[in-house]
Amino acid sequence: MTIYAAKDYLDLSRKAANIISAQITLKRNSVLGLATGSTPVETYRQLIEKYRQGDLDFSEIRTINLDEYKGLSGEHNQSYRYFMNDVLFSHINIDLKNTNIPDGLEEDSEKECSRYNQVIRSMGGIDLQLLGIGGNGHIGFNEPSSFFEKETHLVALAEHTRKSNARFFTSVDEVPTHAYTMGIKNIMDAGKVLLLASGEAKAITLYDSFFGFVTPEIPASILQLHPNCIVIADEPALAVIREKTGWEGAVYDN
Ligand code: GLP
């Protein structure tokens, strides 16, 4: 993997948007794996800006999102469908029919998971997968576990995750207990992975993920084995890596 140091959140977002823009420019019908959470919000804003300036065309782009809360409809303002429409899709010339997110209202989890795996396959795989990282090392909603889940599955959200996502709801009790998420194999099959980490709350898990053992206890650690993984992290998120490895540069290749 290669780690790029960003001086702050804006710098991180601009770098990420440049990489995604290059992907779109080089392949106009790219399949983009997209992420939610607060980290990619400014990256999406930068992409919208590039679209408005006439530099990007999303008309042939297809997207597939990592995850969705089970039990929330796409109209619920905390669903990931609502989030994606709100922060990106409604501002660019993407065809909504080409955007995919698990259906949070599908009760039959086996049915929904196999439908979603089929969608990924029918798209011919993911060209570039954007990721954030949870404070406990989760990617998508692949929570710390004793094994890596391969494909889309229903997950019981970790207490840590529900507490940290409570800031978007009126109380922790309103945070859904379960979610649908792509699995680790779906993510590892992507041609490129772009993981973003911002803020000191991610510093320990970022170090553990990329400098520790590969273990399902820290799901992001599997990315050490991805042949084309780029990490962009701002200085607060890099604090522990800098301290423990002595790395002082702008680019770290491993
Ligand atoms: C959520 C999402 C993840 C995201 C993570 C971090 O739980 N399912 O895809 O990476 O939280 O969120 P944030 O970027 O707000 O720190």
Is 138 a residue of the active site?
Answer: yes
The dihedrals phi and psi of 229, each to the nearest 5 degrees, come to -110, 125
Query: Alpha-carbon distance 16 to 34, whole Å?
Result: 12
Active-site residue 159, yes or no? no
CA–CA separation, 24 and 124 (whole Å): 16
What span, in angstroms and rounded, lies between the C-alpha atoms of 16 and 13?
5
pLDDT at 254 over 90: no
Each residue of 113-139: pLDDT tens digit? 999 999 999 999 999 999 999 999 999
CA distance linking residue 148 with residue 188, whole number of Å: 11
Taking only the tens place, the pLDDT of each residue in 187-225 is 999 999 999 999 999 999 999 999 999 999 999 999 999
Strand bridging mode 62-65 / 99-100: parallel
H or E element in which residue 65 lies: strand 62-65
- Residue 159 pLDDT > 90, yes or no? yes
- 67 flagged as catalytic: yes
Average of per-residue pLDDT across 228-248: 98
Burial 121-151 (b: 16+ CB within 10 A, else e): eebeebbbbbbbbbebbbbbbbbbeeebbeb
Segment holding 211, helix H or strand E: helix 203-211
- Is 165 labeled as catalytic in the residue annotation? no
Residues 50-63, mean pLDDT to the nearest whole number: 98
Q: What is the residue type of 91?
A: H
What's the mean pLDDT when you consider all of the chain?
97
Atom of ligand 1 minimally distant from the CA of 165:
7
> How far apart are the C-alpha atoms of 131 and 137, rounded to whole Å?
11
Which one is catalytic: 143, 149, 234, 235?
Answer: 143
Using the predicted structure, report yes or no on whether residue 185 has a pLDDT greater than 90. yes
Q: Whose CA is nearest to atom 3 of ligand 1?
A: 140
Ligand 1 atom at shortest distance from the alpha carbon of 38 = 15
What pTM was estimated for this model as a whole? 0.97
Report CA(40)–ligand 1 centroid distance (Å): 9
- Alpha carbons 191 and 228: distance in angstroms, whole number: 7
Nearest CA to ligand 1 atom 6: 134
- Quick one: pLDDT band at residue 73, thresholds 50, 70, 90? very high
